[in-house]
Amino acid sequence: MTTPTGVGVGWEARADLVVVGGGVAGLTAARAAARRGLTVLTLSKGGPTDTSTQYAQGGIAVVAPTGDSVDSHVADTLAAGGGLCDEDAVRSIVSAGPHAVAALTDLGAVFDRGRDGDVARTREGGHSTRRIIHAGGDATGMEVQRALNAASLPVLFGAAAARILTDARGVTGVLVLDERGLGVVHTPAVLLATGGLGQLYACSTNPAGATADGIALALHAGAAVADVEFVQFHPTVLYARGGEGRRPLISEAVRGEGARLIDSHGASITAGVHPLGDLAPRDVVSRAIAERLAVLGEEHVFLDARHLDGFAERFPTITASCLAVGLDPADDLIPVAPAAHYSCGGVVTDVHGRTAVPGLYAAGEVARTGLHGANRLASNSLLEGLVLGERAGHAAAEERAGLRVEATDATLPARRRADR
């Protein structure tokens, strides 16, 4: 059997929508589209927990019911983004946060609560208030993935998308490589939810599958990518001499709860650098660390969390990573250095996940909606995955039903508006 492009394949299948990726954006989209009656095939290169979502620690940034506002979350996002966010996209996505989190909670995700019984909220870099909700202390992504895995349709694991097939009218299928060999799924719609590209760097917080596949697939299909030069380096990744590949994250929430960044002489890294000090936006803190390391000729700085009460209960995942290398955060300084963490740019979409190629969608880290600009605000990633996943699933369903509403100026990122 051969595809219209002449590639020989050993098997074929059909679906209304193929979702490529089994993290928060992909599974949310698959559920949304299936609820609208589409037959959905979800592919994942790895297994059920080999996603970037699984490793997210800090939480989900979402406007708190009191003492917070959409305007404040928007302002923090724009400030962190260095003047390169699309404000319309930011407002659209941030406004949808509370509803998206409520839907995830309805699905069974359980978030940590404080002594007062209310959902607990912490702070992270660039946020002007405590608005980050979390689960399992520092295992938010694990809980999001667990809830979505439990509620989702079957996923074809160990299956990689090799090529999006298109004709003059748009998407016609996707070539897939799995244990049976190369096959083709005939479909008018593909959603890329393949995550990031951290594995292109020597050290990253990303899992092995974060190899920029979605960007390559989209470019080959004729979609635009933008802002891919903005790769966010997380300031505090557990340092090990010669450490390579995926390295354990030390969540920014540790600083949100009061830990301090110091150098080998005990001096603050961020004093005088930014009014928010150790909780400045991530690019600012990572740069301050890199500059100090260059001056000192050293390879890491330290996070001092020794004075925090109940560290092991609040941060069990981080405690386990530290104990595994013989460090106890209650007694020891934690050696940390910046490492590649998040792709702020990606496949250009509107705020419904639509690319300029009919039938091709993207959501989550692989997409560039305009939310992040040059530097993503902490914990806006799970938020975006939830909101865009849901919207892209609906957009695919509407397009399938012939209901596609043309994107309006309000839904198109600024750069695409400028291009028209």
Q: Which of 378, 386, 396, 407 binds ligand SIN (CB under 6 A)?
A: 378
Nearest approach in angstroms of CB 7 to ligand SIN is: 38
* Closer Cβ to ligand SIN, 28 or 53, answer by number: 53
* Closer Cβ to ligand SIN, 215 or 285, answer by number: 285
Q: Which of 52, 122, 317, 381 binds ligand SIN (CB under 6 A)?
A: 381
* Closer Cβ to ligand SIN, 251 or 319, answer by number: 251
Contact of 372 with 344, CB cutoff 8 Å: yes
Any catalytic annotation for residue 146? no
Nearest approach in angstroms of CB 341 to ligand SIN is: 6
d(CA 156, CA 365): 21
| CA-CA-CA-CA torsion sign (66, 67, 70, 73) | negative
**Counting every residue, how long is the chain?**
420
Name the residue among 392, 342, 44, 367 with its Cα closest to residue 218: 367
Contact of 235 with 342, CB cutoff 8 Å: no
Q: Which of 252, 278, 365, 399 binds ligand SIN (CB under 6 A)?
A: 252
Question: In this chain, which stretch among 212-220, 248-256, 268-276, 304-312 interacts with ligand SIN, using CB under 6 A?
Answer: 248-256
Nearest approach in angstroms of CB 377 to ligand SIN is: 8
The Cα-based distances of 2 to 5, 25, 183 in angstroms read 8, 32, 9
d(CA 170, CA 164): 10
* Active-site option among 246, 260, 282, 376: 282
Name the residue among 233, 219, 220 with its Cα closest to residue 346: 219
Question: In this chain, which stretch among 153-161, 247-255, 322-330, 392-400 interacts with ligand SIN, using CB under 6 A?
Answer: 247-255
Determine if 375 is a binding residue for ligand SIN (CB under 6 A).
Answer: no
* Closer Cβ to ligand SIN, 282 or 416, answer by number: 282
**Pattern 23-62, ligand SIN, x by CB under 6 A:** ---------------------------------xxx----
d(CA 223, CA 392): 16
Residue with the shortest CB distance to ligand SIN: 58
CA atoms within a 13 Å half-sphere pointing along the CA-CB vector of 179: 5
Within residues 278-337, the interface with ligand SIN by CB under 6 A covers none
**At 384, is the secondary structure helix, strand, or coil?**
helix
Output the 3-class SS for 108-119: CCCCCECCCCCE
Determine if 204 is a binding residue for ligand SIN (CB under 6 A).
Answer: no
Residue written as token pair 């190369």: 182
Q: Which of 27, 190, 253, 262 binds ligand SIN (CB under 6 A)?
A: 253
Output the 3-class SS for 200-240: HCCEECCCCCCCCHHHHHHHHHCCCEECCCCEEEEEEEECC
Nearest approach in angstroms of CB 281 to ligand SIN is: 11
Determine if 16 is a binding residue for ligand SIN (CB under 6 A).
Answer: no
Q: Where along the sequence are the contacts to ligand SIN (CB under 6 A)?
A: 56-58, 124, 249, 251-253, 342, 378-379, 381
Residues carrying an active site annotation: 282
